[in-house]
Amino acid sequence: MSRGRIPAPHYRRVFKEGRSVANRYLVLYFLPDDAVKMGVSVSARLGKATVRNKIRRRVKEAFRLMGPSATGGGQFAFIARKKALDATYKEIEGAVRDLVKRMNP
Counting every residue, how long is the chain? Answer: 105
Strand stretches in the chain, DSSP E: 3-5, 19-22, 26-31, 36-41, 74-80
Question: What is the longest distance spanned by two Cα atoms in the chain?
Answer: 36
Task: Please give the model's pTM, rounded to 2 decimal places.
Answer: 0.89
Q: Which CA distances in Å does 11 have to 18, 38, 41? A: 10, 10, 10
Residue 9 confidence (pLDDT): 84
What is the spatial distance between Cα 18 and Cα 80, in angstroms, rounded to a whole number? 17
pLDDT digits (tens, 9 = 90+) for 10-38: 888 999 999 999 999 999 999 998 888 99
pLDDT at 105 over 80: no
**CATH (one of 3.40.50.620, 3.40.50.720, 3.90.79.10, 3.30.230.10) for 3-100:** 3.30.230.10
What does the domain layout of the chain look like in residue ranges? 3-100
